[in-house]
């Protein structure tokens, strides 16, 4: 089975060497590597051009979907492995991500883990990311474009990547695959490591954009509606003069934060850091939820205009 590894990139010069080193260290070598640059201005494209083992295509102004579709069009083989060129691949990633396809699957769903630098990033990781693959339910898991592989027929049946969608394109394709009833199999050993945003402001913008993409594409309406409803109910409960609604709101918040706090507890060994995380994680959850609500509202406005 011959495999084309494709990736998109823009302005990540500081990550190129690490990505290329992890690619060179793969236990299974891809039969070709195609990288599409969306218009980097920091030397990223030039760094990739110096590597003769891959093909770089320059497409200034291309969003992620457009870049992926261009890479798919240039790929020679019918099995596609997809990742992002600012990630770090575990040495067995390609071998593990291709194995389900060799066994007959249409799509192989890899795992991904954050690169954590410090207390804040560990807490941010705990909010939305599983500690390990044991948390994943393969029947409902939606793979990221950082770690996925598929047959060409699968992406063609999904209609390719939606170039009208600036962000959330991988989730849009995932929904199409689920609706089509394709054979999606989890590959927990196919691990990619990626970097979280460095600060709380950058994190807010990231989740604002994710939620805006959800609304533009009509994805997860129930989940977002529930978030609005829960926060509206919490505000009303806390404003009540009666003690019972306030206690109910606090109890609900504790249940809501339980899993992220548990994840943070597992990530830290120091008792002091664990205590700080118990406070920091719920605060970050609120911060990210405000970003999601604002982004979803903006996306609904975009959708109405379109």
Residue 102 token pair: 């060799």
Instruction: For residue range 143-182, list pLDDT tens digits in order.
Output: 999 999 999 999 999 999 999 998 999 999 999 999 999 9
DSSP string of 11-29, one letter each residue: S-HHHHHHHHHHHHT-SS-
Domain ranges in the chain are 3-117+129-195, 200-305
Residue 128, pLDDT score: 85
**What's the CA angle centered on 296, arms 39 and 206, to 5 degrees?**
40
Residue 161, pLDDT score: 97
Half-sphere exposure of 136 (CA within 13 A, CB side): 19
Residue 295, pLDDT score: 97
Instruction: Please give the average per-residue pLDDT across 26-38, as a whole number.
Output: 96
Helices (H), 197-270: 200-217, 221-239, 243-267
What DSSP state is assigned to residue 271? H
147 near 112, Cβ under 8 Å? yes
**Mean pLDDT for the chain overall:** 94
CA distance 12 to 21: 15
Helices 271-305, 200-217: crossing angle, 10 deg rounding: 40
**Interstrand relation of 184-195 and 88-89 (parallel, antiparallel or unpaired):** antiparallel
Instruction: For residue range 230-258, list pLDDT tens digits in order.
Output: 999 989 888 888 888 888 888 888 898 99
Q: Which CATH superfamily is domain 3-117+129-195 in?
A: Spore Coat Polysaccharide Biosynthesis Protein SpsA; Chain A (3.90.550.10)
Instruction: Please give the average per-residue pLDDT across 33-62, as a whole number.
Output: 95
DSSP string of 174-212, one letter each residue: HHHHHHHT--EEEEEEEEEEEEPPSSHHHHHHHHHHHHH
pTM of the predicted protein model: 0.89
Residues 6+ apart with CB under 8 A from 110: 93, 96, 97, 143, 146, 147, 148, 149, 187, 190, 191, 192
226 near 184, Cβ under 8 Å? no
Residue 79, pLDDT score: 98
Residue 287, pLDDT score: 96
- Whether the pLDDT of residue 214 is over 80: the answer is yes
Question: By C-alpha distance, which of 225, 235, 205 is closest to 297?
Answer: 225
Instruction: Please give the average per-residue pLDDT across 40-44, as a whole number.
Output: 94
Instruction: For residue range 96-122, list pLDDT tens digits in order.
Output: 999 999 999 999 999 999 888 889 889
Among left, alpha and beta (phi > 0; psi -120 to 50; other), residue 220 is left
Residues 6+ apart with CB under 8 A from 91: 22, 25, 26, 27
Residue 68 token pair: 């992926």
Residue 284 token pair: 């970050």
Query: Quick one: how many helices (H) and strands (E) in the chain?
Result: 11, 8
Residue 62 token pair: 């291309």
Residue 283, pLDDT score: 95
75 near 8, Cβ under 8 Å? no
Neighbours of 303 (CB within 10 A): 13
173 near 154, Cβ under 8 Å? no
């Amino acid at each position: 089975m011959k495999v084309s590894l494709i990736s998109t990139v823009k302005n990540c010069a500081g990550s190129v060497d690490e990505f290329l080193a992890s690619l060179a260290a793969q236990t299974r070598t891809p039969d070709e590597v195609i990288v599409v640059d969306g218009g980097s201005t920091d030397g990223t494209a030039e760094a990739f051009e110096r590597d003769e083992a891959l093909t770089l295509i320059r497409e200034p102004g291309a969003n992620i979907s457009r870049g992926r579709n261009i890479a798919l069009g240039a790929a020679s083989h019918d099995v596609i492995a997809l990742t992002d060129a600012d990630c770090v691949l575990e040495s067995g990633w390609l071998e593990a991500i291709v194995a389900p396809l060799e066994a007959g699957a249409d799509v192989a769903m890899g795992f991904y883990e954050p690169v954590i630098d410090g207390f804040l990033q560990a807490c941010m990781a705990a909010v939305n990311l599983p500690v390990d693959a044991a948390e994943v339910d393969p029947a409902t898991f939606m793979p990221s474009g950082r770690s996925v592989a598929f047959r060409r027929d699968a992406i063609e049946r999904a209609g390719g990547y939606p170039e009208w969608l600036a962000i959330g394109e991988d989730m849009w394709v995932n929904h199409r695959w689920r609706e089509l009833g394709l054979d999606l199999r989890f590959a927990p050993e196919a691990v990619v490591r990626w970097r979280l945003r460095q600060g709380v402001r950058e994190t807010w913008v990231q989740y604002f954009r994710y939620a805006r993409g959800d609304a533009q594409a009509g994805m997860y309406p129930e989940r977002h509606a529930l978030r609005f409803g829960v926060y509206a109910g919490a505000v009303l409960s806390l404003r009540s003069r009666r003690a019972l609604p306030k206690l109910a709101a606090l109890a609900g918040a504790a249940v809501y934060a339980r899993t992220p706090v548990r994840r943070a507890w597992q990530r830290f060994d120091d008792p002091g850091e664990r205590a700080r995380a118990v406070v920091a994680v719920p605060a970050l959850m609120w911060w990210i939820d405000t970003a999601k609500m604002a982004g979803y509202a903006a996306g609904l406005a975009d959708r109405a205009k379109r």
